[in-house]
Amino acid sequence: MILFKKLFNNVGIAVFIVSTSFVLTNKLNAQKSQDVLMTIGKSTIEVDEFKYIYEKNNGKSADYSKKSVSEYLDLYKKFKLKVEKAKQTRLDTLENLSAELEGYRKQLASSYLMDKEVTEALLKELHNRMSEDIEFSHIFVASPETANKAQKAEAMAKMKDIEEKLKGGMAFGEGAKEYSEDKTTSDKGGHMGYFTAKLPNGFYDLETALYTTPVGKISPIVTSRIGYHIITVKGKRPARGQTEVAHILVDQSKKSFIDSIRKMAIAGKEFELLALDHSIDKNTSKIGGKLPFFGINTYEKSFEDAAFGLDKDGDISMPILSKSGWHLIKRISKAAPDSYDILVRKMKSQINKDDRFETAKIKLIRDIKASANFMENTAVLSKFTPNLTDEFYSYKWNVPENLDKMTLISYNGSLTYDLVDFAEYCRNNTKTRLKYDKAKPLDEAVNELYTEFVNEKTLDFEEKQLVKKYPDYKALLREYEEGILLFEITKINVWDKANQDTIGLKSFYETVKDNYKWEDKAKIASIDIKTDDKKLAAEIYKGLNKKSIQKLMNKYNKNTKVINVTYSEAEESAKEMSGLIKTVGYTTPMEANSTEDSYSFRKIVALIPSHTKTMQEARGYVVADYQDYLEKEWLVNLKKEFKITVDETELNKLIK
């Protein structure tokens, strides 16, 4: 089973299993403060709410100084006043906003639940496991994913027979030699050596067995994507991790030569030069014998043991014999184990795509059921299938009438679903029903849909508990809800009004129009002379001192358009004024273009004094300023409408 060995050697890909009841016992037990910081109208703002939003929005600047807290509290008051007005006007009851919020709540709850109660726990468990290497042996019977039911059953029967023999006293090593189908290890009693998490995708149960089976004990039958295993754990050690070394390689017949090279290295000659001069490993000799970082099961055991046996950077090993020849190994550096935060960045996306994620999700559902006193009445379900026909496998199928209304499943004895709920679920999942082959027995299809139905409702139940369990989730949901309300109420009272109230906007403009002025401007003529005759171009350029541009164009453009003029206006600070002196008649030097078939220059033909912009010219600025004006006026009125009370004692407790 060379494939099996190769899969295992890919130690950069891994697996995680949840072996402890992490779901409902290791919740976030943050202390919930009931202390009220302030009230606005009928709403209260607790200290924890303010601290959460203050720290989130200020980041590293959240130093809780009096100035910082006071400034942010003023901003938060304004925000909360607007939200309070939105609630008073019952914007939160509008159908479109309610639907938007519910959609977000569902999306956030689902991702938050999986992140907190599956992914986070998987990553923590993986981080713990990666601190140990596990030595084990196994007995293997092949049963690949492509095997049919009969083949899988035959392989399992064979493995159960081996298991019984082991229970009857057969030595594990002898069992591996006689029965294991992994021929790369069977003659060694199934010995695999040391491995560490995470194992490749599809070896979830096997990794779990490695880390949960006591040393010297034998595991139950374990399933992987390539077959069935029984393992025995031989030993455990702190994880070797990753190391970086350089080596010098010589032929197996040159033991005395490698000894002499070592003496030179110990005496102080540079290892890199010795590698360049003497190593027969041409892939590394030119770079001083340097190998990339590696972990266990990358090289032969003798080489690995010697490399990881070096205590400090710069240490040089004794000569080591491998199949390739004699080696000298010098340690360059040892990688520190990844912190948990680094592991999260590296592994989170992999964990979520691994088969262990789905397995952990199933365990989550099982634990939720246990915690929620889940009850089911399979007798009610049994009344559903007898009345079905093959139409169930088509889009035409509808929910049967007069279905039993008895409870099918329940949570905590209060949240219940009946057979009609399940039937509606089946009806709405047309795609799932259509994927079934009509040859599939109806009871099997119904049972599969029922399992999906129960899983979905169980996760729905848990999602509704998130507000109670996770303060962060509650805060995120509140932020989004208040954000929607803030947007809508501001749109009504400020943004729409500023754009639609043409009379108010014009009246506002008249009071502040002196704020919108053009700077002093210059009218610039950009002149191009289309000719490769430099004398003609110079003649035209010189003529500008005596004649107007129009007269020159009348003179030289009779047959062909020699002179092209474009006019523009530019404020004094504009980049178009670069190279120009603000004087009427000032002309830049004439320049030939890159192909020398035309010449160009610019001339100031008029100066335009500063003047007030028209309403149309300044509209964007006027609307923005009008919005600011409306918002300030609105806030003045809101402060009159809603009483604000701040508990100074609680506020002072926050100040550092």
CB atoms within 10 A of CB 265: 18
Q: Express each pLDDT in 519-546 by its tens digit.
A: 889 999 999 999 988 899 999 989 887 8
| Cα 91 from chain centre | 33
Indicate the average pLDDT of the chain.
89
Position 75 pLDDT exceeds 80:
yes
Mean pLDDT score, 188-209: 94
pTM above 0.85, yes or no: no
Band of pLDDT at residue 547, cut at 50, 70 and 90: confident
pLDDT at 439 (0 to 100):
83
Phi, psi of 459 (to 5 degrees): -65, -35
pLDDT at 104 (0 to 100):
86
pLDDT at 5 (0 to 100):
37
Band of pLDDT at residue 168, cut at 50, 70 and 90: very high
Residue in the structure block whose two tokens are 């190998």:
291
Phi, psi of 2 (to 5 degrees): -65, -40
pLDDT at 15 (0 to 100):
25
Position 77 pLDDT exceeds 90:
yes
CATH topology of domain 243-334: Chitinase A; domain 3 (3.10.50)
Residue in the structure block whose two tokens are 């064979």:
158
The dihedral over CA atoms of 612, 614, 616, 620, expressed in degrees to the nearest 10, equals 20
Lowest mean pLDDT among 32-41, 226-235, 501-510, 545-554: 32-41
Assign 3-class secondary structure to 486-523: HHHHHHHHHHHHHHHCHHHHHHHHHHHHHHCEECCEEE
Answer whether 108's CB lies under 8 Å from 473's CB: yes
Band of pLDDT at residue 100, cut at 50, 70 and 90: confident
Q: Compute the distance between CA of residue 566 and CA of residue 236 in angstroms, rounded to an integer.
A: 84
Helices (H) and strands (E) in the chain, counts: 24, 19
Mean pLDDT score, 469-485: 89
Q: Compute the distance between CA of residue 248 and CA of residue 329 in angstroms, rounded to an integer.
A: 7
Position 440 pLDDT exceeds 90:
no
Band of pLDDT at residue 318, cut at 50, 70 and 90: very high
Residue 495, CB-side half-sphere exposure with 13 Å CA sphere: 7
Q: What is the DSSP letter of 192?
A: E
Q: Express each pLDDT in 4-13 by its tens digit.
A: 333 333 322 2
Q: Compute the distance between CA of residue 204 and CA of residue 212 in angstroms, rounded to an integer.
A: 12
Which of these, 363, 336, 285, lies nearest to 122 by C-alpha position? Answer: 363
Q: Compute the distance between CA of residue 288 and CA of residue 274 in angstroms, rounded to an integer.
A: 8
| Cα 581 from chain centre | 56
Q: Which residue has the higher pLDDT, 570 or 139?
A: 139
Which of these, 460, 394, 449, lies nearest to 424 by C-alpha position? Answer: 449
CA distances from 318 to 256, 296, 332, 334 (A): 12, 20, 16, 19
Alpha helices in 287-354 (DSSP H): 301-308, 340-353
Assign 3-class secondary structure to 469-487: HCHHHHHHHHHHHHHHHHH
What's the alpha-carbon Rg for the chain, to the nearest Å?
A: 39
Q: Compute the distance between CA of residue 183 and CA of residue 353 in angstroms, rounded to an integer.
A: 31
Q: What percent of the chain has pLDDT over 90?
A: 69
Band of pLDDT at residue 32, cut at 50, 70 and 90: very low
CA 27-130-218 angle, to 5 degrees, is: 95
Position 196 pLDDT exceeds 90:
yes
Band of pLDDT at residue 307, cut at 50, 70 and 90: very high
Band of pLDDT at residue 471, cut at 50, 70 and 90: confident
Mean pLDDT score, 460-489: 90
Q: What percent of the chain has pLDDT over 70?
A: 95
Answer whether 211's CB lies under 8 Å from 222's CB: no
Q: Compute the distance between CA of residue 628 and CA of residue 515 in angstroms, rounded to an integer.
A: 15
Q: What is the DSSP letter of 592?
A: E
Q: Does domain 133-236 have CATH number 3.40.120.10?
A: no
pLDDT at 275 (0 to 100):
96
Instruction: Please give the single-letter amino acid code of residue 161.
Output: D
Band of pLDDT at residue 27, cut at 50, 70 and 90: very low
pLDDT at 266 (0 to 100):
95
Band of pLDDT at residue 368, cut at 50, 70 and 90: very high
- Mapped onto helix, strand or coil, the DSSP state of residue 568 is strand
Enumerate residues 6+ apart whose C-beta is below 8 A from 135.
Answer: 192, 193, 194, 233, 234, 235, 236, 237
Tell me if the bond preceding 653 is cis, omega within 30° of 0: no
Q: Express each pLDDT in 392-405 by its tens digit.
A: 999 899 998 888 88
Position 391 pLDDT exceeds 60:
yes
pLDDT at 655 (0 to 100):
92
pLDDT at 379 (0 to 100):
92
Enumerate residues 6+ apart whose C-beta is below 8 A from 62.
Answer: 54, 55, 68
pLDDT at 14 (0 to 100):
26
- Mapped onto helix, strand or coil, the DSSP state of residue 570 is strand
Q: Compute the distance between CA of residue 206 and CA of residue 287 in angstroms, rounded to an integer.
A: 40
Domain ranges of the chain: 133-236, 243-334, 372-469, 517-612
Q: Express each pLDDT in 571-591 by its tens digit.
A: 888 888 888 888 998 999 998
Band of pLDDT at residue 82, cut at 50, 70 and 90: very high
Position 188 pLDDT exceeds 80:
yes
Band of pLDDT at residue 254, cut at 50, 70 and 90: very high
pLDDT at 28 (0 to 100):
33
Position 386 pLDDT exceeds 80:
yes
